[in-house]
Amino acid sequence: MRDPLRPADPPRAEVLAYGALAAPLAFGGLPLYIHAPDFYAADLGVGLAALGVVLAALRAVDAVQDPLVGWAGDRWPHARPAMMVTGAVALVAGVAGLFAPLGLPLLVWFALMMVLASLGHSLISVNLMTYGGVWRDAPAAKARISGFREGFGLAGLILAVSLPAGLAVVVGRQASLLALAFALAVGMMICLPMFLRWLRGASFDLRAMPDSASVSLRSFGPFYGVAGLVLLSAAFPAALILMLVRDLLGAEELAGIFLLAYFIAALPGAALASHLAGRIGAVTVWTGALTLSVVGFASALALGQGTVGLFFVICLLTGLTFGADLVLPPAILSARIGDTGSAGIATRAHAGLAFLTKAALALAGAIALPLLAQAGFRPAEQNPEQALDALRWLYAGLPLVLRVLAIALLINFHRKGRI
């Protein structure tokens, strides 16, 4: 009979205490890049091109910020809990401030609050993934830990999507987004102490970073390349979905339902991916999930006015595969860290993945929004056909190409033993 306490099977109560923090953390991740740009463009009147420039600048900040967070965690591993507490304060303040602009010009305020929220998110997410990655050695355990963490993250995303949609019709959009910030603060006050209590009783291989650590990071290059393409392919739809639903489908009142369907479908997708990864390997499962997602993006090229049913099916299909995209890359990276004996730079390695996630979201906005503006697209207004074509191809066509390239690279690198 299997011993539930052996390294391959971390106890369920401990996995829950570890992973629950991902739920409030999700409030400062993807929803910011879904709600914030559209809120500033459609509600506050900020130009799309200007927002794209700011998002590109934020990507440059992340390029410095995330590696620094990773370096600090590896340099002073015992300071990680304090970093996470600091990150919680910064994340709550940044999200609240983002939807309550005060005094400064809107673009300046948007940039400052996004930087503050992004820094807080990095301080928590990078260290959270690191603890999960070095907690257990067995590949099946890594997939299970990642699955629980991302499952909580999806639950947070579902709440972050449904709360503003449900409240907006009663109190208005801005007040509903501020309610999101309040829910974030409450979630952090509940889940962070729970995590810290778990942390005091857990044991890890957390060593200070060796002087030669930077050399070891080169072995993660193929993984980062594939993960970056996948994350970028997901970032374009994330940045454009509200515009697509409102301005292409003509179904703005259904936006919350579409987002809920997407994230709810991701829950069984994450669970199934975690289960299959422990049996047939994370890379094999990820390859299959990416291939299935290509079908969804190809179908999205047929979207137009009134194609609500088709888009609902696409949301379910791509949401299912999104669950695999959440669970499998951190598990693959953790396994790679173990295979290369790189526990001393684990935080830097996970910081690289966190940077790619935020960089993809920022880069998608920096590319898509100016291109839409150039095509004559105006959010929440009547648009010419060429502008709607640009929206459709940026939402589905470009991600489709990126996913096909990612699949080819993943198969090639895996055959060569580099992932």
DSSP 281-328: -HHHHHHHHHHHHHHHHHHHTT--TT-HHHHHHHHHHHHHHHHHHHHH
Distances (CA, A) of 366 to 187, 298, 308: 31, 23, 28
pLDDT at position 207: 54
Q: Domain segments of the chain: what residues?
A: 12-415
* pLDDT value for 47: 86
Structure-token pair, residue 123:
């301080």
The residue assigned the tokens 């299935």 is 292
At residue 208, the pLDDT reads: 52
List, in order, residues 6 or more apart from 376 with CB less than 8 Å away. 383, 384, 386, 387
Q: What is the pTM of this model?
A: 0.75
CATH no. for 12-415: 1.20.1250.20
Q: What was the pLDDT predicted at 170?
A: 83
Instruction: Say how far apart CA 145 and CA 129 lie, in whole Å.
Output: 10
Full pLDDT tens readout for the chain, 419 residues: 334 444 456 788 888 899 999 999 987 776 677 788 888 988 888 888 888 888 778 777 876 787 888 888 888 888 999 999 999 999 999 999 999 998 889 999 999 998 999 899 989 988 998 888 777 666 667 777 878 888 898 888 888 877 887 787 788 888 988 998 999 999 999 999 999 999 988 777 555 555 444 446 778 899 999 999 999 999 999 889 989 999 999 998 898 889 889 989 998 999 999 889 888 999 999 999 999 999 999 999 999 998 999 999 999 999 999 999 988 998 898 888 877 777 777 778 888 887 888 788 778 888 998 999 899 998 888 889 999 999 999 999 999 999 999 999 999 999 998 88
Cβ-contact 132, 353 below 8 angstroms? no
For the chain, the C-alpha Rg in angstroms (whole number) is: 20
Quick one: which H or E segment has residue 28? Answer: none
Residues 6+ apart with CB under 8 A from 339: none
pLDDT at 6: 43
Name every residue whose Cβ is closer than 8 Å to that of residue 8 and which is 6 or more positions away in sequence: 136, 138, 140, 141
Q: Which of 286, 322, 353, 323 is nearest to 133 (CA)?
A: 353
